[in-house]
Amino acid sequence: MSYPCLRGAIVLTSSNNRLRFKEGAGAVGDVNLTAGTYYLRTDGTASLSSEIQSKLNAFGVGGNTYTVEVTGDIDPANPGVVVTITRATGTDTFQLVVDGSTTFDMDLIGFPSSTANDANPKTSSVSAAGAWVGNDILREREPFGDRVAEVARRGNGGVVGVSMSSHMVSWSLGFAFVNEARMLMRANSADVDATLEAFVRRFGAGAAFEAEEHALSSGTTFDLGDGTAAFAVLHWSAESVQSFRPRRIGPGVPLYDLDMVAHEQVTS
């Protein structure tokens, strides 16, 4: 079985790319990520985790190196997407610092506040907002063509269809048996970014996201790897963003389903 994972396109510029970091006895310093578009995955092309790992390793104050891993958890009682920063080599303590000089949105990686200053791995305290993981399989993942914009009848009775684009592909995504902790903010106020509507708000109108499915690797978790399982880079349809209406499966059942439509990003 494979489970849905959505990863938003995180666009960094010179105004929103600064993390704050402390290593050993050194002072808190800036870690400036390279401007560009990234996705929250452990490695591969446009990996935000790889970019953070590279910049932490080049911090240059102490002698540490680091690994940055992203995992998904389908258990609705746990954070959905977890980022873990681990000291790979070296003996210095380290700390992620969230202060007035931080310009990177730390909620994207699940660190809304500063971590402890010690040698232990730093694990996100809430779900990383840069991605969303469902607790059950996709009910539907079906491509279809939005091809006809107008149908006109000629004098001879013929019908002419006008193609919107030979490149345009839309996807019908059916989410079923989604626990309310992953669907409704009011049911998960302690971890809002574990919910699908929080993801849609961040990566809705005008934003892009990757959609893919992953098989479990251990227990209820899987590694958000290099994105080779992705089936499309998408944009939500206007109707899906404007009319976000999950349906409760039955009275007293904290499970929901909904159908959404997304359009595949045109690349040529």
Same domain, 225 and 116: no
Same domain, 7 and 33: yes
- The pLDDT of 146-167, averaged and rounded, is 55
126 domain residue, yes or no: yes
Which of 30-39, 73-82, 241-250 shows the lowest mean pLDDT across its residues? 241-250
Same domain, 71 and 160: no
More confident: 62 or 9: 9
Same domain, 186 and 159: yes
What percentage of the chain exceeds 90 in pLDDT? 75
Q: Is residue 266 predicted with pLDDT exceeding 80? A: no
Confidence of residue 205 (pLDDT cuts 50, 70, 90): confident
Confidence of residue 147 (pLDDT cuts 50, 70, 90): low
Same domain, 106 and 157: no
Residue 29's domain comprises 2-132
What CA–CA distance (Å, rounded) separates 172 from 255? 20
User: What pTM, to 2 d.p., does this model score?
Assistant: 0.89
More confident: 235 or 265: 235
Q: Is residue 96 predicted with pLDDT exceeding 80? A: yes
**What is the per-residue DSSP string for 47-111?**
BHHHHHHHHHHT--SSS-EEEEEEEEE--TTS-SEEEEEEEEE-S--EEEE-STT--S-GGGGT-
Specify whether the CB–CB gap between 22 and 117 falls below 8 A. yes
Same domain, 52 and 104: yes
215 domain residue, yes or no: no
Same domain, 67 and 172: no
**Count of domains in the chain?**
2
Confidence of residue 61 (pLDDT cuts 50, 70, 90): confident
Contacts of 214 (CB under 8 A, 6+ apart): 2, 3, 5, 72, 222, 223, 224, 229
Average pLDDT, the chain: 90
Backbone CA torsion sign across 241, 12, 31, 228:
positive
Same domain, 65 and 165: no
Specify whether the CB–CB gap between 254 and 179 falls below 8 A. yes
Residue 45's pLDDT is 87
Q: Is residue 67 predicted with pLDDT exceeding 90? A: yes
Same domain, 179 and 238: yes
Boundary-marking domain end, from 132, 155, 177: 132
Same domain, 175 and 257: yes
Which of 12-21, 36-45, 218-227 shows the lowest mean pLDDT across its residues? 218-227
176 domain residue, yes or no: yes
Boundary-marking domain end, from 107, 132, 157: 132
Q: Is residue 159 predicted with pLDDT exceeding 60? A: no
Helix, strand, coil share of the chain (percent; to 5): 15, 40, 45
What CA–CA distance (Å, rounded) separates 203 from 129? 10
Contacts of 106 (CB under 8 A, 6+ apart): 19, 96, 98, 112
- The pLDDT of 36-40, averaged and rounded, is 96
Boundary-marking domain end, from 105, 132, 159: 132
Same domain, 186 and 94: no
- The pLDDT of 233-240, averaged and rounded, is 92
Q: Is residue 124 predicted with pLDDT exceeding 60? A: yes
80 domain residue, yes or no: yes
Q: Is residue 178 predicted with pLDDT exceeding 60? A: yes
216 domain residue, yes or no: no
Q: Is residue 168 predicted with pLDDT exceeding 60? A: yes
Same domain, 106 and 189: no
Phi, psi of 68 (to 5 degrees): -125, 120
Confidence of residue 164 (pLDDT cuts 50, 70, 90): low
Residue 86's pLDDT is 98
Specify whether the CB–CB gap between 17 and 45 falls below 8 A. no
Q: Which residues pair with 118 in a beta bridge?
A: 94
